[in-house]
Amino acid sequence: EVQLVESGGGLVQPGGSLRLSCAASGFTFSSYWMSWVRQAPGKGLEWLANIKDEGREKYYVDSVKGRFTTSRDNAKNSLYLQMNSLRAEDTAVYYCARQNWGGASDIWGQGTMVTVSS
């Protein structure tokens, strides 16, 4: 079964850091671009970042550039999101997603909740 499973969410204080992980299974992880999308409580979807299949090309939305870093370990079929200098407005459910050949996100994880609060 094709699956993505996120982990690493939780409660963190403003200014703190958190590392999210996304474990992939059921497909050739190293062949796909991957992305991170978040959804604040009661709000819409916000694309954060994506990373090319080999891991060298990465793109970030302005709101997280310089604070968030995505990486991947194709040997471990895993995707990561390192989040630093967290703010209250970063509170959201964070999803990892696989991009299909056209660029749409065809497989999503179940999401992991990140709460930034003192």
Partner 1 sequence: EILMTQSPATLSVSPGERATLSCRASQSVSSNLAWYQQKPGQAPRLLIYGASTRATGIPARFSGSGSGTEFILTISSLQSEDFAVYYCQQYNHWPPVFGQGTKVEIK
Taking CB under 8 A as the criterion, which residues in 67-106 touch partner 1? 95, 100, 102-106
Taking CB under 8 A as the criterion, which residues in 23-62 touch partner 1? 37, 44-47, 59, 61-62
DSSP-derived secondary structure for the chain: --EEEEE--EEE-TT--EEEEEEEESS-GGGS-EEEEEE-TTS-EEEEEEE-TTS--EEE-TTTTTTEEEEEETTTTEEEEEE-S--GGG-EEEEEEEE-TTS-EEEE---EEEEE--
Work out whether 111 is an interface residue with partner 1 (CB under 8 A): yes
| Comparison of 16 and 65: residue with beta carbon closer to partner 1 | 65
Q: Shortest distance, CB of residue 59 to partner 1, whole angstroms?
A: 6
| Comparison of 2 and 11: residue with beta carbon closer to partner 1 | 2
Contacts with partner 1 by CB under 8 A lie at 37, 44-47, 59, 61-62, 95, 100, 102-106, 108-111
